[in-house]
Amino acid sequence: MPTILQWVRLLEEKIQQQTWYAAPYERRYRNEHVLPFIEREFREVYGSKVDALGSELQPPRVGMAGIGVDALVERMTVLGADSEDAAAAKRVDYAFKGNDLDVMQREAVREALVKRVSFAQIDRSADGRAVVGIEAAEQMAVHRMQHPPYDVDAALKVSVNEWTGQRTARLWLIGRTVDLLEADMAQHDPEGSNIVSRWAVVADVPSRLPVVPVVEFAHKARLLADPTSEIEPIASLCDIVDLIEGLMVFAGHFGAVPIRFGKGIELPKDKDGKPILDKDGRPMLGFNPRADHVWITTSKDAEFGQLTPAGLTSFVEWSDHAVSQIRSITKVASSYYRLDLKSHMSAELLKVDEAPMVRRVKSMGQYGSFGVAWRKLMQIILMIEDPASTALVQPRWGDPETRIESAAADGVQKLVASGMGVQTAAKKLLGWSEAEVSAAVAEYDAAEARKVERDALANDPVVSALTKQTSDGAASVGA
């Protein structure tokens, strides 16, 4: 069995590896990555203007990597918890929303797609409630069992005290929670291993849980391969798009804009017969040589002309080709890139355009490793909220398709008319929770009961006679 410091050494090295791996993809997601080639070209073409303007004049950065990640994140939505045990589902759903996971669940997925992993750590509050936090790959790492069920059997989080600058850490093992502090001097492992470390144990307490209360979010496409960033397979293509945009700036500046020329122009000269120079050291002209100014000279030998401008069509086609390659990998709909998007796109055409992305989102979330992670997270929450419960809790997923409300309502009506129960149809097509469906059904039943009661009273002869007598008496009094 590894000692505490052996676990810390292993997991701390893993945190460093995760940090190194995530750095370039984090820059691309934040749209901070600049191609060195384009940066050098900008400085050569525009000279000192680049430095003089500072951040105002920079090479183009399209942010293509962030577009794909954000598209998948906004479609992969967990609405809450679901279970055949209504009480268990209500408990977990309350904790889910109480810990702001209805908002932070997007950040968990975003971090995992950009940096390949993210984590959720579950703790027990003083009053016995589940407290959940989302952690980044630069601060936490986990180790998994080498046999089924392949659950996390060790986790480490390292943080820095913002007041003292001292590093602290917490290690979770099965049934144990260990707090550590980084000392000034290294010491030998008190448990007898060959590890020499500055980490020292300050607390070792039982966790009262049969599992490590940490869940890893990662998109695993293969069994034995490590998870990868969503940006890794498209990084070079994103660089190509940025390169094309940069070249379009040069082409537009020097080729696509019409270039006028003049010859035989008499230049203003000084008393020594030398051309008068402007502040940039160029000969002065009798006019402003801009495309939006009139060029005029008194010289009878002068001639003006214009070079044939180049077009940007080839650059646009090249960029569209690169983006189509990105789409073939990410499966993100063309509407996110404004490709082939027409103002008259029908609902059916939009559905076809989104179909590959919807299938991929479901394979990653509801039917993939993200779904497994959310299921484990909700089970740990239930362990803390209700230790005696043996219910199976699972996430309730939002529909990743663009919903056409009229089509959804029409679909529910048709399914109910064909014999499907109202509750099943509402959950399947509208994405309603069990509580929402139950409330809607109860409201409908109450309205139907009132309607039946009104009809019964209207057909009762005694009630009809009393109503008629009352109305006749009121008419006599009025007369």
Range 329-357 average pLDDT: 79
pLDDT in tens, 68-118: 999 999 999 999 998 999 899 999 999 999 999 999 999 999 999 999 999
pLDDT band at 466 (very low <50, low <70, confident <90, very high): low
What does the mean pLDDT of the chain come to? Answer: 84
pLDDT at res. 74: 94
pLDDT at res. 299: 75
- The domain locations on the chain are 260-306, 407-471
pLDDT band at 264 (very low <50, low <70, confident <90, very high): confident
- CA–CA separation, 331 vs 354, rounded Å? 8
Does residue 405 or residue 86 have the better pLDDT?
A: 86
Of 137, 151, 310, 323, the C-alpha closest to 240 is: 323
pLDDT in tens, 195-250: 999 999 999 999 989 999 999 999 887 788 889 999 999 999 999 998 888 887 77
Contacts of 79 (CB under 8 A, 6+ apart): 102, 395, 396, 397, 398, 431, 433
185: region left, alpha or beta (phi > 0 left; psi from -120 to 50 alpha): beta
Chain length of the chain: 479
pLDDT over threshold 90, residue 170: yes
Which H or E run contains 474?
Answer: helix 461-478
Of 285, 289, 282, 281, the C-alpha closest to 266 is: 285
pLDDT in tens, 359-376: 999 999 999 999 999 999
In this prediction the pTM is 0.79
**166, 411, 431, 435, 437 from 444: Cα distances, Å:** 61, 19, 18, 14, 10
With b for 16 or more beta-carbon neighbours within 10 A and e for fewer, the 400-425 pattern comes to bbeeeeeebeeebeebeeeeeeeeeb
In this structure, of 118-127, 212-221, 409-418, 437-446, the range with the lowest mean pLDDT score is 409-418
pLDDT at res. 284: 78
Q: How many CB atoms lie within 10 A of CB 93?
A: 24
Residues of the chain with pLDDT > 70, as a percent, come to 82
pLDDT at res. 290: 62
Return the structure tokens found at 400.
């990743």
pLDDT over threshold 80, residue 255: no
pLDDT band at 419 (very low <50, low <70, confident <90, very high): confident
3-state secondary structure at position 459: helix
pLDDT band at 413 (very low <50, low <70, confident <90, very high): confident
pLDDT at res. 89: 92
